[in-house]
Structure 1
Amino acid sequence: MTDTAPADRGHDPTAQGHDSARIRDDRTLTVLSTSDVAGIDITPADVLATVENAYRTLAAGRSDNPRKLTVKPGDGHSVAYAMLGRDGSRDVVAVKTSYKHGLHSPRDEQRYYTTLTLYDDVTGLPLAMMDCGRIGALRTPAVSALLARECAPPAARAALVIGTGTQGRLALPFLLTALPGLERLMLHGTHPDGITAVRRQLRAYFPGRDVEIVTDLREAAGAADVVVATAGPHTPAAVEASWLRPGALAVLVGHGLAPSTLHQADRVVATSEAQMRVTGTDMADAAGELPAVDAEFPAVLAGEASGRTAPDQRIFAYNSGLVVTDIALGHRFAQLALTQGMGTRVPLWQ
């Protein structure tokens, strides 16, 4: 695939102006609320560049991305995660936390909080704490789009998105940014409000473009060069490997792909094999096993491994989040917010 990264792969152009995001006060913390973060304008291209450089820096051994810590009570009513990391191109250390409560309740009754706290590893001072919901909502479709750019068949023209939740709503703008040659855009979803939201997001970034709503999932999957499965855990959608055309790329974000798409794939790419083996157990075979990963995506972006090695390969790609991408994108948001005077200064250590 075409390499569109900056010529200097150790430099992140979105990290320019780093000094403007540094706070020279060790007694206060700038807090960016949900509304603050929502008010920051950022293009899909900016997000893609930021996330891509985070992967490249990790592949170069300049960043740290330890495994997440997880706690869950015996009855499973809640789950919490803590993720620590360091972005070596931005000189930023951060901690991300995620807490979901009411897992046995209907989705609209569940409570979910996720935060990101950034520290400047040059000055040793805090940068910001922010709601991380939008960061994750943008980071994940950006990764799917980068996977498509590197692993889709040559001259890919058709894409299918399964699901109309947060990830489904943002998938198409990012796919079109990474693969502008896509001509046919298909969506399989069952919620009218979600379908409307997908169309609204697409037109916001690509006026004049529309998506085709498909009900025959098998036929749509067979026509797609790229399938991105973002549906929730209760979806009845399950694309089988035999439905996919030669050369197709199937990207798993949430649900919507049957295990056969993984086990019968000609090649398997994962953002992290270790994470796939922890969070991808629903894709295991009858013996509870997952196949080996042929390439991890940071190495693909760095040119150390190949995403695709033959035009007709059916490729399965597993998209799981790495905290270094949250850190990079969170720092980018902090730059944009702090230079605009956004956020609330809290005298946390006074």
Structure 2
Amino acid sequence: MSKSYLCTPALRILSRSDLADITLPPSEVIARVEDAYLAYAQQLSRCPTKLMMPIPRTESDAVAYSMLGYDGTLQQVGFKTSYRQGNDSAEKYYTTLTLYDDARGLPFALMDGHRIGSLRTPATSAIIAKHCAHSKARSVLMVGTGAQGLHTLPYIIDVLPQLEETSFFGTHPDGIKAMLDTFSYYCPDRTLQQVDDLQAAIATADIVIAASGRAAHPKIQTAWMKPGGLLISVSSKGVEAGALRQADYVVATNTQQMGVTGHRLAQGPNGEPGEAKVNAELPEIVAGKAAGRTSDDQRIFAFSSGMVITDIPVGHALANRAIAAGRGERITLWQ
């Protein structure tokens, strides 16, 4: 392969099927995402606030947003876009990540973002649990069986192997099967219990991850948690409005993004707007500049809003492995 060929401006297009069987061990994904937060805290990376736009003619749950970021460790610029028409169909949800190699000043890859999100999101939940769960945490509950939460329990066990009880709540048969199969693959020596009484299960769990989307259950309240409990909200739709007011300590991946995507969580008891008071941001916690909690009896509410700085390293790793395997199509848009 000639040097001029490698330096020609081109994108490697990687489809969902190109990436579907590319594997990354949980420990590698977690390390890459945690390093991304650390680099951001050290001001080596950049991540402006997520840009969202409502679509007037579709239902209120439509998705249209974009994120721009720079990974200072990899020297990669990333653009993420997500779009979903306002309905429940996963077939009409489209998300992409485009990477540019800033070291060479060349485009690198354009890829489907589904697999990236399904890995970096549980990695973020695991990192939050690692830094914010109380010191004697022994149980974890997953609420939801969709793509955002499928790998969460194995990832959390990777960082907190002392956890003894793992359980989940779900209502969709296909999702329940996928949850059980995925857990069995990563944790063959452990038992995963399905619970029916969600509120009772939350009251006894040390760590709860809410990723239930348009939830088919009563919306989760922080007050249901026992003292010392940690509630991680991946999808705020499954969590009661005003959840921040019930928490003793609030953590966010990014305060500004929480104001964009999770503002209803700060509402008052009558639905009046409230200020999203955040005690600590995750990048600062990872860097040792802020505490994940200040006492073992605090009820912690953690809001996980995806940051493109975590998509970039996971997407970069997947793209490199896919390209090495001969996947994708090389497109020269600029010729």
Answer yes or no: same fold by TM over 0.5: yes
Give the Cα separation in 2 of the matches to 1:346 and 1:278: 35
Contact preservation (8 Å) 2:71, 2:312: yes
1:313 aligns with 2:298: yes
Pairing of 1:43-122 with structure 2 (within 5 A): 43-77=25-59, 78-101=62-85, 103=86, 105=87, 107-108=88-89, 111-122=92-103
Aligned to 1:230: 211
Amino acid at match of 1:325: T
Which of the residues 166, 177, 188 maps onto 2:147?
Answer: 166
User: Following the alignment from structure 1 to structure 2, what is the Cα–Cα distance between the partners of residues 320 and 167?
Assistant: 12
| 1-structure distance, mates of 2:122, 2:148 | 6
- The answer on 1:300 being equivalent to 2:285 is yes
CA pair 217-115 structure 1, distance change in 2 beyond 3 A: same
2:317 is matched with which residue?
Answer: 332
CA distance in 2: counterparts of 1:178 and 1:233, whole angstroms: 29
- Write out aligned runs for 1:1-350 (5 A): 24-77=6-59, 78-101=62-85, 103=86, 105=87, 107-108=88-89, 111-254=92-235, 255-259=237-241, 261-283=243-265, 284-285=267-268, 286=270, 287-350=272-335
SS at match of 1:85: strand
1:263–1:290 contact (8 Å) kept in structure 2: no
8 Å contact from structure 2 (residues 223, 247) kept in 1: no
The normalised TM-score by structure 1 is 0.88
Sort the Cα spacing of 1:92 and 1:313 in 2 relative to 1 into closer, same or farther, 3 A. Answer: same
**1:250–1:261: 8 Å Cα contact kept in structure 2?**
no
Gaps of 5+ in 1: 1-22
1:199 counterpart letter in structure 2: L
Give the ranges of 4+ consecutive aligned residues of structure 1 lying more than 4 Å apart after TM superposition: none
Report the Cα offset of residue 260 of structure 1. Answer: 5.3
Higher deviation after alignment, 336-345 or 59-68: 336-345
CA distance in 1, matches of 2:76, 2:82: 19
Q: Residue in 2 aligned with 1:6?
A: none
Alpha-carbon separation, structure 1, partners of 2:63 and 2:232: 25
Check conservation: 1:127, 1:334, Cα contact below 8 A: no
Distance in 2 (alpha carbons) for counterparts of 1:242 and 1:63? 36
TM-score normalized by the length of structure 2: 0.92
Aligned length: 325
In percent, how many aligned pairs have the same letter?
Answer: 45
**1:169-202 superposed Cα distances (whole Å, 9 cap, x missing partner):** 2211111111111111111112222211111010
What residue identity is the alignment partner of 2:71? D
**Could you tell me how far apart the structure 2 residues matched to 1:215 and 1:73 are?**
36
Shift of 1:335: 2.1
Supply the RMSD in Å over aligned alpha carbons: 1.7
Partners of 1:192 and 1:81 lie apart in 2 by 30
5+ long unaligned stretches in structure 2: none
Shift of 1:232: 1.6
SS at match of 1:185: strand
Please give the per-residue CA displacement for 1:40-68, whole angstroms capped at 9, x wherever unaligned.
11111111011001100011011110122
Question: Which SS does the other structure have where 1:168 is aligned?
Answer: coil
8 A contact 1:247–1:312 mirrored in 2: yes
Please list the CA deviations of residues 317-342 of structure 1 after superposition, one character each: whole Å capped at 9, or x if unmatched: 00000111111211111222223332
Deviations 1:69-120 (A, max 9, x none): 333332235542222111001101121111112x0x4x23751111111111
Query: Contact conserved, 2:50 with 2:257, CA < 8 A, in 1?
Result: no
Residues 74, 240 of structure 1: CA spacing in aligned structure 2 closer, same or farther, 3 A cutoff? closer
CA distance in 1, matches of 2:21, 2:277: 42
Query: Residues 124 and 241 (structure 1 numbering): CA distance in 2 closer, same or farther, change over 3 Å?
Result: closer
